[in-house]
């Protein structure tokens, strides 16, 4: 398995949860083999920034909980032992509000969204069709189970 390097910009206490969730995700769904390790960036932003990004890149004018941006193929970076895989961006206020709304511990909800974003970086998609949504959901549930986090889903396979 390749090494995973992380760049995390997050509120106090969130960094460890992000690292743990990404390590579990990589262990159970490794990225494509590259000659070097992989680098994932995780950033936590405010709702205004997330709304702007969601509108700019997805045409949706609201703050969403998580966005994932795959690093362009052939991205030239300074010499590094790690190949960029992509960036996961989370909206702090949305994540906090959803955890409260769903009655879930904040760090468990955060972990779910980090795993969700990581799977998007690997090409998993829940918006194309129900089959792909079920495949992604099953992968998320399996990864979260290794962290002793219960399934975040009820009947909605497109949630998150």
**Structural domains of the chain, ranges and CATH numbers in brackets:** 4-145 (3.40.390.30)
Identify the pLDDT of residue 39.
78
Closest C-alpha among 150, 87, 155 to residue 121: 87
The structure tokens 């194309």 sit at 128
Identify the pLDDT of residue 48.
96
Identify the pLDDT of residue 157.
40
Identify the pLDDT of residue 128.
84
Tens place of pLDDT per residue across the chain (160 aa): 446 666 777 777 898 899 899 989 988 876 665 555 677 889 999 999 999 999 999 999 999 999 999 887 655 555 455 667 889 999 999 999 999 999 999 999 999 999 999 999 988 888 888 888 899 999 999 999 999 999 998 644 444 4
Identify the pLDDT of residue 81.
56
Identify the pLDDT of residue 146.
95
Identify the pLDDT of residue 13.
82
Q: How far apart are CA 61 and CA 6, in angstroms?
A: 29
Identify the pLDDT of residue 155.
47
Identify the pLDDT of residue 9.
79
SS (H, E, C) the chain: CCCEEEEEECCCCHHHHHHHHHHHHHHHCCCCCCCCEEEEEEEEECHHHHHHHHHHHHCCCCCCCEEEEECCCCCCCCCCCEEEEEEEEEEHHHHHHHHHHHCCCHHHHHHHHHHHHHHHHCCCCCCCCHHHHHHHHHHHHHHHHCCCCCCCCCCCCCCC
């Amino acid at each position: 398995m390749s090494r995973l390097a992380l760049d995390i910009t997050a509120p106090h206490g969130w960094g460890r949860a992000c690292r743990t969730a990404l390590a579990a995700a990589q262990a159970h769904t490794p990225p494509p083999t590259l000659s070097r390790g992989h680098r994932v960036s995780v950033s936590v932003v405010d709702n205004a920034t997330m709304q702007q990004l969601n509108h700019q890149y997805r045409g949706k004018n609201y703050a969403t909980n998580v966005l994932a941006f795959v690093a362009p193929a052939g991205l030239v970076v300074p010499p590094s032992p790690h190949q960029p895989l992509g960036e996961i961006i989370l909206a702090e206020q949305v994540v906090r509000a959803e955890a409260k709304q769903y009655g879930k511990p904040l760090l468990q909800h955060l972990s779910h969204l980090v795993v969700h974003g990581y799977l998007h970086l690997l090409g998993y998609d829940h918006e194309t069709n129900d089959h792909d949504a079920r495949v992604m959901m099953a992968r998320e549930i399996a990864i979260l189970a290794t962290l002793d986090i219960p399934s975040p889903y009820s009947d909605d396979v497109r949630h998150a």
